[in-house]
């Protein structure tokens, strides 16, 4: 497995603004102009997390490219970053602080859906667009809230859970176990499962096993109880701390006692192969991802992935942890930039309106045509979602539709 970068080193990196790459005359003009600000709030002090690094780097590299091309409205873009420690109240506090900055046009969150959900609830009063480049909770967006100030370039729980359950059915599983965190994210996923099983009678999901997020020292009893109840596969909703704990405990079982695992992508919010170790390959584990995982299929995406690997000190570009966050954030920044340009102002109400009326935007993940409408604030589509596996080198690769 390729050597991975360490978090203290990543925290020490200082990425240069792209204005340095602009022609001298443009650089001088932009230097004299006040910046157009973009905010970000994320779990910066969560030691196992890499999703925040990927999101931040995606924004940094997009801003670097946009500034090299002249910024927006003849002004440079500037990223303002705050730490929310994955606590919703801190995310809201950061949003209020960032929204008070002059010429701030939008705020990006990171991985945790409860943070983005609460930010979205106060965004209308602050008249500040909020973007999710990772958080998948169905509560992040609220179509009944008009106008809604929350936008997402990412997965959602409906697409994730339906993909996992479809895969279990395709594998011939008739009884599936379900493990969920006792949180808003877990409840969001559970609601999707209930709706799915009401429509698909051929597959039975056993009563969910709930665990306490951040407070468990063992999870294996849940697996053993589900297996005793007849589960043929495990659908898991977890972030990397609980995911690592469960994988290590699963590896302690004899191979015939291990269940195949179909996981939501929270476990990919950290450098999961490094955290679990080489034995990860002994488990039958698939995890939800989006088309951002395959951005290297285009020259532009390959260049972005290579730049990210260089900035992070990773030898193999496909080993950039939380790679989807990089692509989602990069594209979301392109979309926001296009909206500010269309609005012709940093007035956020005009920017929000422009986000719903954009011409097509060519991103590294996909072409957005359009990114959003008044009724739809999801930039991706269910067809952008699939399952992936970690290979022996710790690289996430799209899994075959039907495992052999």
Cα separation, 41 vs 397, whole angstroms: 29
213 neighbors 242 (Cβ within 8 angstroms): yes
Domain boundaries, the chain: 7-156+294-382, 158-290+386-398
Q: What would the pLDDT profile of 151-173 be if each residue is shown by its tens digit?
A: 999 999 999 999 999 999 999 99
Q: What is the pLDDT of residue 26?
A: 59
Check residues 386 and 25 and name the one with the higher pLDDT. Answer: 386
Structure tokens at 90: 């801190």
User: Please, which pLDDT band fits residue 215 given cuts at 50, 70 and 90?
Assistant: confident
User: Please, which pLDDT band fits residue 214 given cuts at 50, 70 and 90?
Assistant: confident
Domain 7-156+294-382 identical in fold to domain 158-290+386-398: yes
| CA-wise closest residue to 250 among 261, 263, 241, 240 | 261
Structure tokens at 7: 């978090």
Cα separation, 371 vs 380, whole angstroms: 8
pLDDT mean over 44-58:
95
Q: What is the pLDDT of residue 213?
A: 85
Q: What would the pLDDT profile of 4-44 be if each residue is shown by its tens digit?
A: 445 443 444 433 333 344 456 556 666 668 999 999 999 99
Rounded percentage of the chain residues whose pLDDT exceeds 90: 88
Q: What value does the mean pLDDT of the chain take?
A: 93
Q: What would the pLDDT profile of 274-302 be if each residue is shown by its tens digit?
A: 999 999 999 999 999 999 999 999 999 99
Asked whether residue 366 carries a pLDDT value surpassing 90, the answer given is yes
Please report which residue ranges of 344-382 form alpha helices under DSSP H.
Answer: 348-355
Q: What would the pLDDT profile of 229-255 be if each residue is shown by its tens digit?
A: 999 999 999 999 999 999 999 999 999
In the CATH hierarchy, which fold is given to the domain comprising 7-156+294-382? Answer: Rossmann fold (3.40.50)
pLDDT mean over 197-207:
95
Cα separation, 300 vs 62, whole angstroms: 12
Structure tokens at 83: 């730490």
| 166-194 CB burial, b ≥16 within 10 A, e <16 | bbbbebebeebbbbbbebbbbbbbbebbe
**Helix/strand/coil for 155:** coil
Cα separation, 198 vs 188, whole angstroms: 16
Cα separation, 42 vs 16, whole angstroms: 20
- Report how many helices (DSSP H) and strands (DSSP E) the chain contains, helices first: 13, 15
Q: What is the pLDDT of residue 199?
A: 96
- pTM, 2 dp: 0.92
Which is it for the CA torsion 48, 193, 226, 176, positive or negative? negative
Q: What is the pLDDT of residue 238?
A: 97
- Angle (nearest 5°) at CA 142 between 139 and 145: 145
Q: Who contacts 228 (Cβ-Cβ below 8 Å, separation ≥6)?
A: none
261 neighbors 234 (Cβ within 8 angstroms): yes
Cα separation, 237 vs 258, whole angstroms: 17
CATH of domain 158-290+386-398: 3.40.50.2300
């Amino acid at each position: 497995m390729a050597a991975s970068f360490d978090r203290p080193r990543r925290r020490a990196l200082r990425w240069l603004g792209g204005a340095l790459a602009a022609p001298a005359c443009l650089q001088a003009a932009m230097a004299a102009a006040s910046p157009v600000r973009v905010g970000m709030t994320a779990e910066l002090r969560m030691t196992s997390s890499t999703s925040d690094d990927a999101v931040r780097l995606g924004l940094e590299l997009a801003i670097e490219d946009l500034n090299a091309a002249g910024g927006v409205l003849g002004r440079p873009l500037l990223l303002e970053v705050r730490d929310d420690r994955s606590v919703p109240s801190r995310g809201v506090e950061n949003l209020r602080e960032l929204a008070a900055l002059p010429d701030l046009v939008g705020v990006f969150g990171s991985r945790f859906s409860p943070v983005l959900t609460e930010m979205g609830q106060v965004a209308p009063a602050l008249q500040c667009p909020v973007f999710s480049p990772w958080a998948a909770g169905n509560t992040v967006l609220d179509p009944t809230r008009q106008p809604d100030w929350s936008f997402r370039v990412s997965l959602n729980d409906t697409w994730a859970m339906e993909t996992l359950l479809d895969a279990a059915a395709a594998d011939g599983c008739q009884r599936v176990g379900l493990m969920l965190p006792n949180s808003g994210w877990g409840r969001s996923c559970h609601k999707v499962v209930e709706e799915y099983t009401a429509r698909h009678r051929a597959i039975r999901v056993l009563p969910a096993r709930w665990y306490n997020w951040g407070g468990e020292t063992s999870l294996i009893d849940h697996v053993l109880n589900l297996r005793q109840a007849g589960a043929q596969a495990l659908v898991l909703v977890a972030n990397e701390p609980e995911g690592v704990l469960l994988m290590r405990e699963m590896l302690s079982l004899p191979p015939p006692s291990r269940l195949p695992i179909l996981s939501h992508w929270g476990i990919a919010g950290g450098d999961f192969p490094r955290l679990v170790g080489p034995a990860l390959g002994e488990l039958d584990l698939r995890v939800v991802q989006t088309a951002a995982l395959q951005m290297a299929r285009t020259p532009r995406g390959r260049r972005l992935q290579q730049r990210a690997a260089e900035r992070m000190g990773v030898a193999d570009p496909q080993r950039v942890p939380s790679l989807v966050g990089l692509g989602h954030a990069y594209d979301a920044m392109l979309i926001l930039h296009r909206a500010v340009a269309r609005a012709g102002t940093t007035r956020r109400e005009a920017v929000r309106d422009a986000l719903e009326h954009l011409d097509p935007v060519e991103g590294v993940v996909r072409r957005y045509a359009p990114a959003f409408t008044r009724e739809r604030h999801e930039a991706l589509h269910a067809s952008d979602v699939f399952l992936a596996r970690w290979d022996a080198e710790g690289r996430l690769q799209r899994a075959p539709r039907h495992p052999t």
